[in-house]
Every structure is written in C-alpha cells, then in structure tokens.
Amino acid sequence: MRRAIVVMAAALVVVIGLVFVPISVYALVSPYSRVAVPATCAGEAAQATASSRLAVEGLGEGILVARDGPTSVVAFSRPGGGTPGGTAVVLRDGAVIARLPVASRTVDAGIADGIVYLFDDKIGFLLDAATGVPLPRLFESDNYRGLFTADGVEFVQTSIEATAVGLGGRPFMTRTLPFGAVVDGCLLAGGVT
C-alpha cells in the first residue's frame, strides 16, 4: 500500500514538472498587446461610435466589450458613472445568460470557440458562450495582467494567451485572442469579431 502511494506521488510530481510548469511559464512569457489608459475619462471614448453602445432591456445602455456571433459581453457603469460597482453581462441572442458585479476599474473580455474569457481586472472567469455557465477545468494559466504600470504610464492589456487542461471537456487547449477593455467607463479596445 505504501509503495503504491509513493509511486502515485512520484507520478504526480513528474506530471506537474513536465506539463503544468511549462504551460505556466509559456503563458507568463508570451507576448501581448496593450493600450495606454488616459489620465481622465468621462466616457467620451465609449461614445465615439454608435456600434460601441448597446441597449439591454432592464439594464439600460452599456458598452459592448466583446462579441462573437450571437454572444456578447457588455459593461454597465454604476449609477452616476464609472466601472467599479457596475456590472458585466454576457448576452446570447440578446438574452442575459450571466451577470458579474464589477469591483475594479476595468472589464476585459474576449470570446472564441464557444468560450467567454471575462476579467474583472485580474480576476478571470471562463464561461460557456451558449449558457453562461462557468467551465470546469483541471488547470488554467494565462498571461493576463489587466491594469498595470510601465515606465510611469498605466496600461491595460488587450490580448491574452491562455492554456488550459480539461477545460469544458477539452483535454488540452491553448488560445491567443484579442480582448476588449473598458476602463473607468471608457472603451479603450474592442474585442468584436
């Protein structure tokens, strides 16, 4: 019995060393795109085009962060403006299938191959794009930094490199995709495909 436990523990260490560590390192060092966050934002950037605004029944008008086919992610400012205290919703054919209260200054999202990648700054959620249900996974690693400062300038990341094992029934998946980003109520990058 003891020997079987030792063999299983050794196999687990080998799997972690050969699979999970390289996946994590790869995601962390992968290149990404970014955009500078303006010093002040009163929402004008989000109002630049009518296509970036979307009315949702019962919620009002929000900012379209990402869209892929019938699935969309829309950010709604809190009453009085601003992203913290607002809401991010996932829509499928115009119906709300998931709702996330936003605690940070940014809502970031991308959609690909039936998966919604939705971030409240650095806290990520992977949802089924058809149902809004969180997808189970054994392991997930990504290079998403959300809001960050470099050389005294604040940036938001606008692409992601994600790798997952056992995500929604898929044994292994790696994905690079553009991200839409709303910071302080301003659309800084659109993830509409």
Helix, strand, coil percentages in the chain from 3-state DSSP, rounded to 5: 20, 50, 35
Which of 30, 107, 40 lies closest to 73, judged by CA? 107
Q: Where is 96: in which H helix or E strand?
A: strand 95-101
pLDDT, tens digit, 9 for 90 and up, residues 1-60:
777 776 676 665 555 555 555 555 555 555 667 788 887 765 444 444 556 888 888 888
Structure-model confidence comparison of residues 85 and 117, the more confident one: 117
Q: Which class in CATH covers the domain with range 2-192?
A: mainly beta
- Average pLDDT over the chain reads 78
Domain residue limits, the chain: 2-192
pTM over 0.95, yes/no: no
